Structure 1
Amino acid sequence: MSIEVGSKLQGKVTGITNFGAFVELQGGSTGLVHISEVADNYVKDINEHLTVGEEVTVKVINVGKDGKIGLSIKKAKDNPNPKSGRHKSNPKNNRNGGGDRTESFEAKMNRFLKDSEDRLASLKKQTESKRGGRGAKKG
């Protein structure tokens, strides 16, 4: 049986490591599901998602010249969620509230410089107060 990139296959988990899971496919060949390809969200412990002996549906994502087969469980799902993972909007990155896209580069740069100067002045003030300031006498 020829294994082609993009095909969905059934397999059985034969081994679990800290970096992924080995899956035996029909025909006796074995491929690796990297830990990043197990689920749509971050996977800290692969054992929370898979167990040895479990039947899984996988999608072939690459076949190396050396015969190594790269597999994905999350891409094998029928309804992948395009809004999951890295594409989420992070409110921490929107420092100017609504994220004004019409703001010019110069305006952004001026705002950045002002923020930087304010932070630097604050840092210098804190550091001087811890050292005793400029008027401190030595020995």
Structure 2
Amino acid sequence: MSIEAGSKLQGKVTGITHFGAFVELPDGSTGLVHISEVADNYVKDIHDHLKVGDIVEVKVLNVEKDGKIGLSIRKAKDQAQQSQSQSHSHRPQRHGRGNNRGKEDFESKMARFLKDSEDRLSSLKRNTESKRGGRGARRG
């Protein structure tokens, strides 16, 4: 079985790094699923989506001359969802929801961000002032 760009295969996750997951393909070769190709949404920690030993469906993105194989879980799922027309039913709901609650969501996110920023800044100031030493340090 030759691996060609565009083909869909099933593979087993053999290793996970901070930048992606290595997947063993049916012919014994190993390809890399970059972290950006794991899911449609932002993936902060790949361990939330995959673990070693998982069987995943992947799409071959490219095969380099040196033998490196680029894979995508996200694009393999996209094709399956489009055939079931699930992806089309989700898009209109996002737009409708965004119009009704978009400002509330943004305002609450901005308020939370400002509060977190102020907390971090005050914590940073407190820690750096105490480490400067000498007589200039604030004591309370």
Smaller-chain TM-score bracket = 0.5 to 0.7
Aligned length: 89
Q: Which structure 1 segments of 5+ residues have no match? A: 93-139
Give the percent of matched residue pairs that are identical in Structure 1 and Structure 2. 74
1:79 corresponds to: 81
1:56-76 CA distance string (max 9 Å, x none): 000000111111000000100
- What secondary structure does 1:44 align onto? coil
Q: Which structure 2 segments of 5+ residues have no match? A: 104-140
1:87-110 CA distance string (max 9 Å, x none): x89x79xxxxxxxxxxxxxxxxxx
**CA distance in structure 1 between the aligned counterparts of 2:44 and 2:62, rounded to whole angstroms:** 24
**CA distance in structure 1 between the aligned counterparts of 2:30 and 2:68, rounded to whole angstroms:** 8
Root-mean-square deviation (CA, aligned residues, Å) is 2.1
Q: Which amino acid aligns with 1:37?
A: E
Matches within 5 A, 1:65-104: 65-77=65-77, 78-79=80-81, 81=87
TM-score computed with the length of structure 2 as normaliser: 0.58
Pick the structure with greater CA Rg: 1
2:107 corresponds to: none
Q: Displacement, 1:10?
A: 0.5
Q: Which amino acid aligns with 2:41?
A: N
